Every structure is written in structure tokens, then in C-alpha cells.
A = this chain, B = another copy of it.
């Protein structure tokens, strides 16, 4: 014990760059890329165009009335490019700040001609570290802008459906694309929940091992922290989607409402699961405590049995090791034999006593 090194990633939150002029666009996250990755998908019922670029200005050609343009930017440290896009689409400066402020909690802001949504992509990376990726979505009449911290996301299914015109997506407006993107994010939360359930079971099972690692207390505390952070990323989304569903913003078509209600069902279901796992995790420390106490009980029983059996016997031997001149028993012919008989009787009596107590 005591030699355990804490391997926890000390991902201390960096708030320092927040002390800024309001509206100043400063990235506070930890994931950086050298060049921005801009992906433009322009589609309508008839056709799809796809462009990959490092330059957001390439997106501005597509901005026509009769198509939906989805511009996805990966790499929030490229604040210049994000500001260009913001200018072109006339986004409020505070929105630009929120796009790069990875500490911003999930929320929805309604503006006259667009809506702005912040949410979180949650996943475990290759090192099984929990990752929380900041995602912002701006939805206008015929465009959607999405901003991610880094490459890699959960939108491949959506891209494929646009490409192959599967489902309603090519026949619908930007509101349906927004729904599809949020749906993809929420669907990915189910993986998080599965991992949570597994982690709890791993700890539960390790509590019954002979020698659970000392660090189990820290593991439980870390799992608590992780669940609390997931909760914080997921719970506000409930309110966001509820407001989306009840919104009367002209961007949202009547038909999309059923889909938003479906989203709401799913996010509530996920929230309920998180609460259950939370309760289970909070119980783990008590489980561990009883396990430790049970072990101590076992240790004490061994000590008590050994000591209780041999201490009286040693006393008996001590008696006849004394050097009094007149100890009659010592001179009996079968004294030593009698001694052993008494000793074995005492021994068996103790064994019987402990058997009756069910300690043996």
C-alpha cells in the first residue's frame, strides 16, 4: 500500500483565457490541429455536391436558396476561419465565443433567422479515456454550420443517408438535418451508458477478489466524477430538446416535431439510465467497506483461534516447567502421559467450541 501512483490524467480545466473582452473568440480547449478541416455538403432533392477544403471561403459559393448547405469545421483553434464564417452568416459575436468555448454547457439560443445549439459528443478514446468533444450547430433557413474540436465524429450515418438519399433527409429542410445530427449524437450516448454499466460491474466483481487493489477507492471516486461529468453534459440537453420541440421558430417544420419528440424520449431514457448508474456507483463504497470488514473478521478469527487454543496449552506446559522442589505430579510414573491426555482434551474442547461457534 501507499506505493500506488495516481495515474489519473490531471485534466484540469483551463478557464484562464476566459477573462476577455466579451465577444472575443478565444479557444480554451486542448485539442488543436495545424490546419482547419472544412467539409461542405450541398444538396437538394436532385443532387449532392461534396467539397473538402482548408478554407471556409470555399463554402460561400454554395449559399443558394434552393439547396441545403452543411458546412462542418473541425479544429476550434482556427478562430480566424470561424470568425470569417460567422461574419458571412451574420452570427452574433457571443455565439462565436461560445463555439470555441469548450466549457460552454449544452444550450439553445433562438435568433430571428437562425438557431444556435451547443451540445457534447461523448466517447471513450483508444486509451479508454473519457473524451468530451464540444459541438456547436448553427441552423439557418438553407444552411447548417457545425463546429467540432477535432476530426472524427458520429455523423457518418447522416453523410451516408444524404449521399444515398436514404430516408426523408434529401426531401426535407435544414431542420430535419439538424434533427438527424442531434439524433446521431444522442444515439452515441448509449455507448457511454454501456461502458458505465461495465465499469460498475468490473468494480463490483473486483470487490470479491482475495486482494482487491488498494486503488479501488480512488477508482470508485473517479467513476463518480466521470458520471457527474457525463450527467452535466447530458442533462441540459433534455431542456434544449424540450425547447426545440415546443419552439415556434419558423425554421422548424410541423412534420419535424414528431422526430423531436422521439429525440426527447431518447434523451430522457439516457438520463434515467445515468441516474440508475449513479445510484449504483454511490453504493459501491459501502460495498467495499463491508468487504474490508468481512476480511478483517476473517483475519481476527484466525488469530483468535490460534491464540485461544495454544495460550492455555502453553500455560499448562509452563506449570510443569516450574522448579518447585515439591511438585507431586512430576514424580508420577505416567505423569507425562496424563499431562498429554489432559492437554488433548483441552485442545479438543477448544476445537469443539469454535466449531459450535461456526468459526471453524
Interface residues of chain A, those whose CB is within 8 Å of chain B, are: 1-2, 4, 6, 10, 12-13, 15-16, 18-19, 21-24, 92, 94, 97-98, 103-105, 107, 109, 157, 161, 166-168, 179-180, 183-184, 187-188, 190-191, 193-194, 197-198, 201, 204-205, 207-211, 214-215, 217-218, 220-221, 224-225, 228-229, 232, 258-259, 261-262, 265, 268-269, 272, 276, 279-280, 283-304, 306-308, 310-315, 317-331, 333-336, 339, 357-359
Question: Given A103-B269, A303-B308, A310-B311, do A217 and B290 touch, yes or no (CB 8 Å)?
Answer: yes
Assembly CA distance A358 to B318 (angstroms):
30
Contact assessment for B310 and A315 in the assembled complex, using a CB-CB cutoff below 8 Å: yes
Min Cβ gap A343→B in Å is 9
Question: Quick one: copies of this chain in the complex?
Answer: 5
Interface pair A330/B335, CB less than 8 Å apart: no
Closest B residue to A317 using CB positions: B318
A223, chain B: closest CB distance, angstroms: 11
Residue on B nearest A228 in the bound complex, by CB: B276
The 7 closest A-B pairs by CB, nearest first: A317-B318, A15-B190, A320-B322, A303-B304, A321-B321, A21-B167, A324-B336
Please determine whether A161 and B105 come into contact, CB atoms closer than 8 angstroms: no
Are B280 and A167 in contact (CB-based, < 8 A)?
no
Whether the Cβ atoms of B321 and A331 lie closer than 8 Å is: no
- Asked whether A279 lies within 8 Å of B224 as measured between CB atoms, the reply is yes
In contact, A276 and B229 (Cβ under 8 angstroms): yes
Residues of B within 8 A of A104 (CB): 265, 269
Give which listed residue, B19, B98, B287, contacts A217 with CB less than 8 A: B287
Residues of B near A287 (CB, < 8 A) are 217-218, 220-221, 285
Contact at B306–A308, with CB atoms within 8 Å?
yes
The answer to whether A324 and B314 touch across the interface, beta carbons within 8 angstroms, is: no
Residues in B with CB closer than 8 Å to A258 are: 92, 94
Evaluate contact between B207 and A217: CB separation under 8 angstroms: yes
Q: Is the CB of A311 within 8 A of B307?
A: yes
Contacts of A197 in B (CB 8 A): 12-13
Q: Least Cβ distance of A277 to chain B in Å? A: 9
A333 to B159, CA, bound (A): 93
A87 to chain B, nearest CB (A): 17
Tell me the nearest residue of chain B to A340, going by C-beta: B319
Of B2, B292, B303, which is within 8 A of A303 by CB? B303
CB distance from A138 to the nearest CB of B (A): 15
CA distance A337 to B336 in the complex (A): 20
Least CB distance, A91 to chain B, in whole angstroms? 11
Q: A208-B218, A289-B290 are in contact. Are A301 and B298 (CB under 8 A)?
A: no
Residue in B180, B214, B220, B294 whose beta carbon sits within 8 Å of that of A1 in the complex: B294
What residues on B are CB-neighbors of A191 within 8 Å?
15
Q: Could you list 27 A-B pairs, sorted by A, with CB under 8 Å? A: A1-B210, A1-B294, A2-B209, A6-B204, A10-B201, A19-B184, A21-B157, A24-B167, A98-B265, A107-B265, A211-B358, A217-B290, A221-B283, A221-B284, A221-B287, A224-B280, A290-B292, A296-B297, A300-B303, A302-B304, A302-B308, A303-B307, A310-B314, A318-B318, A321-B321, A322-B323, A325-B335
